[in-house]
């Protein structure tokens, strides 16, 4: 195999089994909320250890459903880390609630723990969102203890953490994403897991217009009459994507193991350098389901020069701005967030997926070292 000259930001490959799974679904004639979706929910419930697993149209939709099931509504507040995917704040705002953006612990460990979350809790707070950033788990158990003590609901944003042991089950609800670049990537899609049947029933109802029965139920001979009991949504997962998820689920363990091996290799190669640091380096590789390779540079200007040099060398990258840097969330409450701002300015997210293999990862790490030399 020839050495790569440029690598993709996300894994763009598919195999014949993926194609056949989707074609078989199309040939079946049943295209939404049918047996493949049910099978996917069962298997993902077993994988996560959750009592209830509900497939939805996206991770963002899942967060909105989870928060609404938790009782979040207009005028409520939800504590969200300031360094998080924009979906975490958008799901809160979509319900007419206010995201209160708290700081994170440190630019090299940018999770929000009880120390950062508790000062952001006020009389209107209804829930806390724990974000498992880049596939590394926040201390959800400690946040659950805080939530329980304050009479709040903990929702875990596991959008980039499928395959990490224990993800999604410390909180009352957890949400995963199947978007491009995720460990189980199908384009769009997501999953809500819940410990309690009442939360699960609420999500199940709201995702399909709050109808008391669905098309698949009626197809199987249930009473054709139904009621609509609330203003719900069409947040259903369609069958072709469920079919694709099922076949890719068979390769999930290998995908996660491959990512862990590549992360361990990066840690070994870059150990001891004073011009770059690996974010979450203190956390165990085996406890994570890595979603990216986050590198922290000494400052924002150096990060920008480093990213430009990497791109010239054939390695694309991304950044994750702090949520309050966006126009929509510039005025939301939450106090000072210096650690989140430093993390956002300094961090560069590099590709990390199993299909990179040894050659691709070697190419990437060579480029990292060259870019550091160029921008030193």
User: Are residues 289 and 146 both part of a single domain?
Assistant: no
User: Are residues 165 and 276 both part of a single domain?
Assistant: no
Q: In the prediction, which pLDDT does 219 show?
A: 63
Q: Which of 249, 279, 304 marks a domain boundary?
A: 249
Q: In the prediction, which pLDDT does 260 show?
A: 99
Query: Number of structural domains, the chain?
Result: 2
Three-class DSSP category at 32:
strand
266 pLDDT band (50/70/90 cuts)?
A: very high
The sheet carrying 190-194 orders its strands as 52-56, 190-194, 173-177, 153-157, 125-131, 77-81, 98-102
The CA distance from 131 to 354, in Å, is 23
User: Are residues 123 and 180 both part of a single domain?
Assistant: yes
Q: Which of 219, 249, 279 marks a domain boundary?
A: 249
User: Are residues 266 and 141 both part of a single domain?
Assistant: no
Q: Is the dihedral of CA 339, 341, 346, 350 positive or negative?
A: positive
Residues counted in the chain: 376
Report the candidate in 295, 305, 235 with the shortest Cα–Cα distance to residue 33: 235
pLDDT tens for 268-313 read 999 999 999 999 999 999 999 999 999 999 999 999 999 999 999 9
pLDDT tens for 14-36 read 999 999 999 999 999 999 999 99
User: Are residues 268 and 329 both part of a single domain?
Assistant: yes
Q: Which of 195, 227, 249 marks a domain boundary?
A: 249
pLDDT tens for 151-172 read 999 999 999 999 999 999 999 9
Q: In the prediction, which pLDDT does 4 show?
A: 87
Q: In the prediction, which pLDDT does 335 show?
A: 92
Contact 144, 170 (CB under 8 A): yes
Contact 130, 171 (CB under 8 A): yes
Three-class DSSP category at 315:
coil
Q: In the prediction, which pLDDT does 221 show?
A: 62
Q: In the prediction, which pLDDT does 153 show?
A: 99
Range of the domain at 195: 16-249
Inside any domain, residue 273 = yes
Count CA within 13 A, CB hemisphere, residue 249.
20
CATH number for position 329: 3.90.1150.10
User: Are residues 24 and 106 both part of a single domain?
Assistant: yes
Inside any domain, residue 10 = no
Count CA within 13 A, CB hemisphere, residue 22.
13
Q: CB-based burial of residue 62 (10 Å sphere; 0-12 exposed, 13-18 middle, 19+ buried)?
A: buried
User: Are residues 213 and 273 both part of a single domain?
Assistant: no
Q: What rounded mean pLDDT belongs to the chain? A: 97
User: Are residues 196 and 68 both part of a single domain?
Assistant: yes
User: Are residues 36 and 171 both part of a single domain?
Assistant: yes
The CA distance from 101 to 121, in Å, is 10
User: Are residues 296 and 324 both part of a single domain?
Assistant: yes
Query: If you average pLDDT over residues 238-247, what whole number do you get?
Result: 98
Inside any domain, residue 167 = yes
Q: In the prediction, which pLDDT does 1 show?
A: 55
CA terminus-to-terminus distance, the chain = 33
CATH number for position 90: 3.40.640.10
Q: In the prediction, which pLDDT does 326 show?
A: 98
Could you tell me how far CA 271 lies from the centroid of its own chain?
Answer: 27
Percent of the chain with pLDDT over 70: 98
Inside any domain, residue 7 = no
Contact 315, 364 (CB under 8 A): yes
């Amino acid at each position: 195999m020839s050495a790569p000259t440029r690598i993709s930001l996300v894994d763009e490959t598919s195999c014949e089994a993926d194609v056949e799974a989707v074609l078989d679904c199309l040939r079946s004639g049943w295209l939404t909320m049918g047996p493949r979706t049910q099978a996917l929910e069962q298997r993902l419930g077993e994988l996560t250890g959750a009592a209830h697993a509900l497939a939805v149209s996206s991770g963002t939709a899942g967060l909105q459903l989870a928060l609404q099931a938790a009782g979040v509504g207009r005028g409520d507040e939800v504590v969200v880390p300031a360094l998080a995917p924009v979906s975490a704040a958008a799901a809160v705002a979509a319900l007419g609630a206010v995201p209160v953006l708290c700081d994170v612990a440190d630019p090299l460990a940018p999770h929000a723990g009880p120390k950062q979350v508790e000062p952001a809790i006020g009389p209107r707070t209804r829930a806390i969102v724990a974000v498992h950033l880049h596939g590394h788990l926040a201390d959800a158990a400690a946040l659950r203890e805080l939530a329980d003590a304050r009479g709040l609901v903990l929702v875990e944003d596991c959008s980039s953490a499928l395959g990490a042991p224990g993800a999604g089950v410390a909180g009352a609800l957890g949400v995963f994403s199947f978007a491009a670049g995720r460990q189980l990537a199908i384009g769009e899609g997501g999953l809500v897991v819940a410990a309690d049947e009442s939360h699960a029933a609420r999500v199940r109802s709201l995702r399909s217009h709050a109808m008391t029965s669905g098309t698949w139920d009626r197809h199987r001979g249930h009473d054709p009459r139904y009621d609509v009991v609330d203003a719900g949504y069409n947040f259903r997962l369609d069958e072709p994507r469920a079919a694709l998820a099922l076949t890719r689920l068979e390769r999930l363990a290998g995908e996660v193991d491959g990512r862990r091996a590549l992360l361990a290799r990066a840690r070994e190669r870059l150990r001891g350098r004073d011009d770059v640091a690996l974010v979450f380096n203190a956390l165990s590789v085996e406890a994570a389901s890595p979603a990216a390779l986050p590198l922290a540079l000494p400052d924002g200007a150096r990060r920008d020069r480093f990213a430009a040099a990497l791109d010239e060398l054939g390695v694309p990258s991304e950044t994750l701005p702090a949520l309050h840097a966006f126009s929509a969330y510039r005025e939301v409450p939450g106090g000072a967030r210096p650690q989140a701002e430093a993390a956002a300015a300094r961090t560069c997210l590099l590709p990390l997926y199993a299909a990179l293999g040894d050659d691709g990862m070697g190419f990437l790490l060579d480029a990292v070292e060259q870019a550091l030399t160029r921008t030193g």
